[in-house]
């Protein structure tokens, strides 16, 4: 058994990682305009609230700031089981991206790998945003066309479990495709939706599968209100709900490629080893206090047991 010490440079390391997992934004459906000072102030307050509240919430919240024509409606949620510090880092990064990508827009949605933020001058709570949709694809194709129907049936079963009246609006699981291959998936909706609205949102984006993704081994489709991800490795955090399929070797894990074009200044130092953020999260139990060794000159230091 080996002991690996991980130093977490509190903001620069994680924020840099999140910048590389930027997924997309939607603010093109609203024209740029000069926002009133009251609306801009309330928008700034909403984004600040998201960054602060996400550190102590259960990974989701909604609020309204202002009144009449200056009202701003805001929502955020983090994927999988992410709460606390990691959720907050993702939400804070997305909030900063909203300022840069969607300046002078009254409404916007910004996605990162692990979280979504949304705001508008109109009350959208409880209403699914199913258009437009976005997707990312892995590089490998499926080896047998029969997997298309098997995978779709599996995804429909996850949608039923996520919307079966428990208000969970989220489900993850895996299955054995063969003796040597496993598949894993997550379906998730924003938690302001009802079970029925969530189900319809997931069904709508699942209907996009034949147009873009069904012959790929790994893919991710999402809208402003729901997402489905499918892969051959266990990409999600794993705390309470064990999958039916066995976990693959950690060394085989790799992130889906993002369609965000990384600029030269964003590239990591290729002389340094790169460990996926999801692996660090799992290995430190989501940066738990039990894994913390202390504080270093650049941030917290955590231990990882590697068997």
Domain limits at 49? 22-120
List the single range of 165-169, 222-226, 241-245 with lowest mean pLDDT: 241-245
Distance CA 140, CA 42 (A): 45
Same domain, 139 and 223: yes
Same domain, 226 and 288: no
Q: Tell me the pLDDT tens digit for each residue of 130-189.
A: 887 888 898 999 999 999 999 999 999 999 999 986 678 989 999 999 999 999 999 999
Whether cis (ω within 30° of 0) applies to the bond prior to 78 is no
pTM above 0.75, yes or no: no
pLDDT, residue 104, reads 81
pLDDT, residue 238, reads 42
Evaluate whether residue 113 is within a structural domain: yes
Domain count within the chain: 3
Evaluate whether residue 278 is within a structural domain: yes
120, 148, 173 — which closes off a domain? 120
Same domain, 211 and 236: yes
Same domain, 102 and 204: no
pLDDT at 128 over 50: yes
SS3 198: helix
Evaluate whether residue 2 is within a structural domain: no
Q: Tell me the pLDDT tens digit for each residue of 87-124.
A: 888 899 888 888 888 888 888 888 877 788 999 989 99
Q: Which residue has the higher pLDDT, 251 or 195?
A: 195
Q: Which residues contact 124 (CB under 8 A, 6 or more apart)?
A: 73, 75, 118
Q: Which residues contact 305 (CB under 8 A, 6 or more apart)?
A: 1, 2, 3, 4, 283
Q: Which of 88, 81, 8 is nearest to 56 (CA)?
A: 88
Q: Which CATH number characterizes residue 247's domain?
A: 3.30.430.20
Q: Tell me the pLDDT tens digit for each residue of 273-289.
A: 445 555 666 677 767 77
Same domain, 279 and 236: no
Same domain, 282 and 244: no
Q: Tell me the pLDDT tens digit for each residue of 47-59.
A: 999 999 998 898 8
Vertex 125 angle, CA 123 and 128, to 5°: 110
Evaluate whether residue 257 is within a structural domain: no
% of the chain beyond a pLDDT of 70: 68
Same domain, 112 and 144: no
Residues 69-82 have a mean pLDDT of: 86
Q: Are strands 2-9 and 292-296 parallel, antiparallel or unpaired?
A: unpaired
Dihedral pair phi/psi, residue 14, rounded to 5°: -70, -40
Evaluate whether residue 95 is within a structural domain: yes
Same domain, 49 and 113: yes
């Amino acid at each position: 058994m080996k002991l690996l010490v991980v130093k977490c440079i509190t903001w620069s390391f994680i924020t840099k990682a999140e910048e590389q997992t930027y997924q997309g934004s939607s603010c093109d459906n609203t024209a740029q305009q000069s926002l009133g000072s009251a609306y801009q102030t309330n928008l700034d307050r909403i984004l600040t609230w998201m960054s602060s509240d996400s550190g102590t919430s259960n990974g989701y919240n909604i609020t309204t700031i202002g009144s009449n024509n200056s009202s701003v409606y805001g929502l955020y949620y983090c994927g999988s089981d992410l709460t606390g510090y990691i959720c907050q880092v993702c939400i804070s990064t997305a909030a900063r991206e909203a300022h840069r990508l969607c300046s002078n827009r009254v409404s916007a949605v910004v996605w990162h790998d692990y979280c979504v933020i949304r705001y508008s001058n109109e009350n959208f709570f409880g209403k699914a945003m199913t258009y437009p949709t976005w997707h990312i694809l892995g590089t490998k194709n499926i080896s047998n066309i029969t997997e298309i129907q098997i995978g779709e049936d599996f995804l429909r079963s996850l949608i039923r479990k996520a919307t079966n009246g428990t208000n969970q609006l989220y489900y993850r699981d895996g299955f054995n495709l063969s003796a040597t291959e496993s598949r894993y998936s997550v379906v998730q909706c924003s938690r302001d939706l009802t079970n029925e609205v969530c189900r319809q949102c997931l069904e709508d984006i699942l209907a996009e599968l034949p147009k873009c993704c069904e012959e790929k081994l790994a893919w991710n489709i999402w809208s402003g209100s729901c997402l489905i991800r499918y892969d051959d490795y266990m990409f999600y955090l794993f705390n309470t709900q064990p999958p039916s399929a066995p976990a693959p070797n950690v060394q085989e894990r790799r992130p889906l490629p993002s369609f965000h074009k990384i600029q030269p200044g964003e590239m990591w130092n290729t002389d340094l080893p790169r460990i996926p953020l999801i692996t660090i999260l799992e290995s430190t139990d989501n940066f738990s206090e039990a894994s913390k060794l202390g504080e270093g000159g650049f941030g917290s230091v955590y231990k990882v047991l590697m068997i």
